[in-house]
Structure 1
Amino acid sequence: MDNLTHSLVGALIGQAGLKRRTGLAMPALIIGANIPDIDAGCVLIGDMQHLALRRGLTHGPIAMIVLPLLLAGGLYAFDRWQAARGRRPASRLPVRFGWLWALATIACLSHPAFDWLNSYGVRLLEPFSSRWFHGDMIFIIDLWLWLGMGCATWLSVRRERQGGDWRRPARVMLAATLAYIGLNAAITYLAERHARMSEPYPLIAIANEMPVAFWRRDMIIGNGDGLWQVAGQRVGAMPLASCDLARARRQDRAVDAFLFWSRAPTILRDGSAFVLGDARFAGDLSRGRFTVRLPAGACQEQGAG
C-alpha cells in the first residue's frame, strides 16, 4: 500500500489507546508502519533491477525483528539525548524501551500485512524464500481507506483535545477496516472462483483490483504460457516458449530482474522489437511502466499467434 495508508494505520493504532503506554509511542507507530519501505532506495540501482529487491528482505521475518529493535533503540537514545541537554518536553510520558519495541514491532508487522492485500504482493519469507504472496483484494492506493482512516484520526485527535472519548473513533475505524478487508476478500474469492469455473477454464485467475471502484475486478486469466486475457482483451504477442528467455536473462540483468519479479509475464510488441511486460499492468493507467526490452534475436517471429 501507499505510505499515507501505512501512516494512518500507525496513527489509528496509537489513537486507539496504545500511545499512552510510553513516551514517543506515536513516532514508533508511524515510523514503524513505514520503515520496511527503506528498500525504496533500491531504485537508484536501475529501473528494472530494483523490482527484484522491492518488498523483499526489508519485509521479511529477519527485518521484522531487526527494524523494530533499531527504531526503538533510536527513539530511546533520542529521549536520553534530549534529557541530557535539558530539552526533553515536560509533557512527554516516561519512555519505556520495552513498550517502544512492542509498538514498533506491531507497526512494522502491519506494513507487510497491508502490502499483501494487493496484486503487487510481498515476499513475506525473504531471505528464506523468494515466493511472492498476493491477496488481490485492495488497490495499492485506496481512496476509501484514506477517507475513513483520515476522518477517524482527525476526529480522535479533536476529541482528545476537547476531553472526550478519543479512543472510540480509532477503534471503530480499525474494526471497519478489518470488515472492509473481509468484504474485498469475499469479492476476490468469488470473482476468481467464477473465472476458473467458466470457459475457457483457465489454470490461473487473478482478480486485479480497481481504483475507487473497490467492488470491481479486472479479471486476468491464462494458463501460464504468456498469453492472457485481461478484462476480456487478449494480451501477449506470442507464447513465452517462443523466446529464449534463459539466454535473455544471462545477457541482460534487467530481464533477469523482471522475470524474478513478474507474476504474469507476457511478450509484447514495441514496433519491430519485443518487450517483456506483466499482464497485471496492461491497463491504460500503468501501461508501459513495467516493461523491459528483450535482446535482439531472443524471440522467433514465427512463434507469433
Structure 2
Amino acid sequence: MDPVTQAALGAAVGQLVGGRVLGARAALAGACAGAAPDIDVIFSAGGDWYDSLRLHRGITHSLFFGPVIGPALGALAWHLERQRFTAVRKRGFDAAAAPLPDAAFGTRQRAIAWIAVMSFGLLSHPLLDVLTSYGTQLLQPFSDARFAIHAMPIIDPVYTLLLLLGVALGVRRATGHSTPRVTLIAAATLLVTSVYLGWAATINARAEAWARADLAAEGVDYDQLSAFPTLLQIHYRRIVARSNDADHVGYVSLWKPCDIRWESAPRLRPASAEAFLASREGRIFDWFTMGWLRFAPAGDDPSLALRAVDLRYGLDTDPNRSLFSVELHQNPQTAELGPSRPGRGAALERMNLLGTLAAAAYPATCPVG
C-alpha cells in the first residue's frame, strides 16, 4: 500500500512490541521500519519499466527480510542509543535531563525491544501489501512467485486514518518509559484495523459470489473468475470472468449490490503474441499480470502490432483498456517488430474514469435498464 499507510502500520506495531520499554521511540522506529521495504524502487533506477515491475515488491518484501535484517537494525539502533546517552552524561547532564532514565540503557530488555520493533515493523509491510492485487514476492530469494489476496486497494483513507488515530493516541501516552496504556492502545488499534482488513476480504468474496450468480442467471459460461479492489474504498469491486473464447468485465458495489452490466470481448492470440511472450519484456509482463494477461486489438495504427493489457487494473468495463498495458510496434513497410513499451493513456481520460468509479461505489439506487 502507500508509504503513509505502511509507516502508520509499522508505528502501531512498534508501539505494541516495544512501546512499554522504548516509549515514543518505538512508534518512530516502527514507522521507519514499516516504510523501509519500499526502498526497492531505487533498485530499478538505472533500468527500464520492466525492471521496476520485476524488482518492486521483491527481496525487501520477502517474509524472510524482516527476521534477517530486523535484528541487525535493532542491534544498531540500540548501540547508537547507548552511545548518545553516554555522550550526554559525559557532558555533565544529570539523569533527569537525559531522554530516558540511566538505568534503562544498556539493558538486555532494551536490546530485545529494539530488535522486536525493527523486525516486526519490517515484516508488517509485506503482510499488508499481500492484501492488494499487485502481487508480492513473499518467498524471495527462494522463489519469485507472486502472492495476492484481493482485499484492499492500494490507497484506503479509512484504514490509514484509523491507524494514524491509534498511533497518535499512543504517542500522547508515551513519555519516557511508556505506561502500559500505550501497549493497550496499540493492540486495540491493530485489532480494529485487522477487522477492517478482514471485512474487505469478505467483501471481495461476496462480490465474487454475486458475480457468479449474475453470470449463471445470464447463462454465461466461464473458467476463471475473480474480483479485484478498485480505488480509495473497499465496497466497489471489478469483476473479471474468463473463458477460452472471451473475457467479461463488470463492476458491483457491495454497498448496494445491483445487476452487473458486463462488457465482453473475444480472446485474441495474434501472431506477434508468441514473439512478445518469448522476449524478456513479454516474460516479465506475463509474470507480472499473474494470469490476467489479455491481448487486445491493435486498432487502426499500422505501426502497432500488439497490445497486451493487465485485466486486473481497468477503470471501466472495456476489457481492452488497463492502467497497465504494453504496446509492441512494427515497421509498417517491413513488418519487422520493434521494442515493446508501456502503453500510455490520456491522463484526463483516466481522471474522468476515476470520478466515475468514485460515484459508482456508493449508488443511491440501482440503474434501470
TM-score in terms of structure 2 length: 0.69
Q: Distance in 2 between matches of 1:97 and 1:34?
A: 22
Query: What residue identity is the alignment partner of 1:66?
Result: V
Q: Distance in 2 between matches of 1:235 and 1:185?
A: 26
Q: Tell me, yes or no, if the aligned pair for 1:208 and 1:219 is still in contact at 8 Å.
A: yes
Q: Distance in 2 between matches of 1:104 and 1:112?
A: 14
Identity level (%): 26
Q: Tell me, yes or no, if the aligned pair for 2:41 and 2:56 is still in contact at 8 Å.
A: yes
Residue in structure 2 matching 1:280, options 312, 323, 337: 312
1:41 matches 2:42: yes
Residue in structure 1 matching 2:169, options 155, 174, 185: 155
Match of 1:220 in 2: 240
Seen in structure 2, the aligned counterparts of structure 1 residues 82 and 225 have a Cα distance that, compared at 3 Å, is: farther
Query: What residue identity is the alignment partner of 1:223?
Result: S
Residue in structure 1 matching 2:226, options 200, 206, 209: 206
Q: How does 1:1-305 map to 2 (within 5 A)?
A: 1-16=1-16, 18-22=18-22, 24-44=25-45, 45-83=47-85, 85-86=87-88, 90-92=98-100, 93-94=104-105, 96-160=110-174, 165-196=181-212, 198-199=215-216, 200-223=220-243, 227-231=247-251, 232-234=261-263, 239-251=267-279, 253-263=280-290, 264-268=292-296, 269=298, 271-272=300-301, 273=304, 274-283=306-315, 289-296=323-330
The alpha carbon displacement at 1:190 in A equals 1.9
The alpha carbon displacement at 1:275 in A equals 2.2
The alpha carbon displacement at 1:74 in A equals 3.0
Higher mean C-alpha deviation, range 207-216 or range 32-41: 207-216
Match of 1:301 in 2: none
Q: Tell me, yes or no, if the aligned pair for 2:15 and 2:26 is still in contact at 8 Å.
A: no
Query: What residue identity is the alignment partner of 2:53?
Result: L
Seen in structure 2, the aligned counterparts of structure 1 residues 194 and 230 have a Cα distance that, compared at 3 Å, is: closer
The alpha carbon displacement at 1:261 in A equals 0.9
Seen in structure 2, the aligned counterparts of structure 1 residues 77 and 30 have a Cα distance that, compared at 3 Å, is: same
Q: Distance in 1 between matches of 2:182 and 2:57?
A: 34
Q: Distance in 2 between matches of 1:224 and 1:100?
A: 53
Higher mean C-alpha deviation, range 206-215 or range 217-226: 217-226
Q: Distance in 2 between matches of 1:155 and 1:19?
A: 12
Deviations 1:1-21 (A, max 9, x none): 111111111222234463223
Q: Distance in 2 between matches of 1:256 and 1:226?
A: 22
Q: Distance in 2 between matches of 1:240 and 1:90?
A: 69
Query: What residue identity is the alignment partner of 1:69?
Result: P
Q: Which has the larger radius of gyration?
A: 2
The alpha carbon displacement at 1:210 in A equals 2.8
Match of 2:94 in 1: none
Q: Secondary structure of 1:48's partner? A: helix
Q: Distance in 1 between matches of 2:209 and 2:89?
A: 59
Query: What residue identity is the alignment partner of 2:324?
Result: F
Q: Tell me, yes or no, if the aligned pair for 2:11 and 2:26 is still in contact at 8 Å.
A: no
Q: Tell me, yes or no, if the aligned pair for 2:12 and 2:163 is still in contact at 8 Å.
A: yes
Q: Distance in 2 between matches of 1:280 and 1:156?
A: 38
The alpha carbon displacement at 1:25 in A equals 3.1
Higher mean C-alpha deviation, range 240-249 or range 42-51: 240-249
Q: Tell me, yes or no, if the aligned pair for 2:12 and 2:27 is still in contact at 8 Å.
A: no
Seen in structure 2, the aligned counterparts of structure 1 residues 160 and 125 have a Cα distance that, compared at 3 Å, is: closer
Q: Tell me, yes or no, if the aligned pair for 2:63 and 2:123 is still in contact at 8 Å.
A: no
Q: Secondary structure of 1:293's partner? A: strand
Q: How many residues align?
A: 294
Q: Tell me, yes or no, if the aligned pair for 2:17 and 2:113 is still in contact at 8 Å.
A: no
